[in-house]
Amino acid sequence: MIRDTARWVLALGLGFMGALHFLQTRGFRGLIPEWAIRATGLDKDGIVIASGAAELALSVALVALPKERRRIGWAVAAFFVTVFPGNVHQWRTRRSTPGLDTDRRRLVRLFLQPVLIIWAVWSTRTR
C-alpha cells in the first residue's frame, strides 16, 4: 500500500512537472547547458519540450502499465540521472526556474535528486 501510494505521488509529480514544461517553456530554458544543445541538435525550447514529454510519458506509464512497473521505475530513475547535469548547471549559473528561485532552493534540489532516484526504484519494486 505504501509503495503504491509512493508510486502514485511520483507519477503525479512527474505529470505536474511535465505539464509545466509545456506551460512555462521559457522558465525552464535556464536549466539547459550549451553542451546539451550541441549533443542533441535541439534548441533550448526543444529540449524543454522533449523532457516535459518524457516526464508526461513516464507519469502515465507508472500507473497505466502495472506489468512493466519495475522497468518503468528504472526508466524514471535513469531520467532523473539524465537531467541532473541540468540541475547542476542551474545551480552553478544561479538561474531561476519555477519554484527554484533562490540559491538555497537550487542547492537543496541537487540533494533531492538521489532521493528521487531511490524513490523511483523503490516504489516500483515488485513485492
Domain boundaries, the chain: 2-123
Residue 90 has pLDDT above 90, yes or no: no
pTM, to two decimals: 0.88
Least confident of 8-17, 28-37, 69-78: 28-37
Residue 127 has pLDDT above 90, yes or no: no
Q: What's the whole-number mean pLDDT along residues 25-39?
A: 85
C-alpha cell at 9: 505521488
Residue 99 has pLDDT above 80, yes or no: no
The answer to whether the CB of 39 falls within 8 A of the CB of 91 is no
